[in-house]
């Protein structure tokens, strides 16, 4: 299965600032997904990022708040913009590969103060 | 969005006991996946199920894809301390573009 490197692993940020999270995969993959996991909660899909097209956002998530880049088949970034304490969560990237395999990165633990 | 009802929410068991957890939905799924998440880590795939009725094992873990395609269970036999973690079911809805819907998780604690 694919190996995903996600960074930073954690960060503490001031409200009003932005943080860009990077996701690097060791193989080319068509579909990459970004999830949010709020404290003590399950995973919620933010958006699907396919190379060469605009990301597709789920209900409740907008591009202005969570802009995504997907410049090639091995890399994607998620930016959390104009952060507030409610954005404190774990952000995870995932890739879909093969038939239906889904691999996750180790996550970025974000705390907004 | 679609919801998966996962139960139980938490379990406290003695080492050596068997564990069972399940997920149900009112929607039909093409794929069921079971993940384990440990603190500070992303979810790790344990078992993937692709066909209704499919029963798959991975060591002490066994999972089944419900015949109605609306449910799945995960069993862990002879639990050990390293089984501690949060277990999530996840499903890919029929007709969706491969996005996963996650259950709320089962927090498993194994007592020595």
Q: What pLDDT digit, counting tens, does each position of B35-68 carry?
A: 999 988 999 999 999 999 999 999 999 999 999 9
Residue with structure tokens 């068509």? A30
DSSP states along A24-75:
EESS--SEEEEEEE-TT--EEEEEEEETTSPPEEPTT--TTTS-EEEEETTE
| pLDDT grade for B83, boundaries at 50, 70 and 90 | very high
What is the residue-level pLDDT of chain A in tens, covering all 113 positions? 789 999 999 999 999 999 999 999 999 988 899 999 999 899 999 999 988 888 999 999 999 999 999 999 999 999 999 999 999 999 999 997 655 568 899 999 999 99
Contact A104 B40 (CB under 8 A): no
A92 contact residues in B (CB cutoff 8 A):
42-43
pLDDT score recorded for residue A50: 84
Mean pLDDT of B83-103: 87
d(CA A34, CA A45): 6
Mean pLDDT of B13-37: 95
Total CB pairs under 8 A between chain A and B: 59
- Say if residue B1's pLDDT is above 70: no
């Amino acid at each position: 299965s694919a190996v995903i490197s996600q960074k930073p692993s954690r960060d503490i940020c001031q409200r009003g600032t932005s943080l860009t999270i990077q996701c690097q995969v060791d193989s080319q993959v068509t579909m990459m997904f970004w999830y949010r996991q709020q404290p003590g909660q399950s995973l919620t899909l933010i958006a699907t990022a396919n190379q060469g097209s605009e990301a597709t956002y789920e209900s409740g998530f907008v591009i202005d708040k969570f802009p995504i880049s997907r410049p090639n088949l091995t890399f994607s970034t998620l930016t959390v913009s104009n952060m507030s304490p409610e954005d404190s969560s774990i952000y995870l990237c995932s890739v879909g590969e093969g038939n239906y395999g889904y691999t996750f990165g180790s996550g970025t633990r974000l705390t907004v103060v | 969005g679609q919801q998966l009802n996962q139960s139980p929410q938490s379990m406290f068991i003695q080492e050596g006991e068997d564990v069972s957890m399940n997920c149900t939905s009112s929607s039909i799924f093409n794929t069921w996946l079971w993940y384990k998440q440990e603190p500070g880590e992303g979810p790790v795939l344990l078992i993937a199920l692709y066909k209704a009725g499919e029963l798959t094992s991975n060591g002490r873990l066994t999972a089944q894809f419900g015949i109605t395609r609306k449910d799945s269970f995960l069993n862990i036999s002879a639990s050990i301390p390293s089984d501690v973690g949060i277990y999530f079911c996840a499903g890919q809805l029929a007709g969706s573009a491969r996005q996963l819907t996650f259950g709320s998780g089962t927090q498993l604690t194994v007592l020595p």
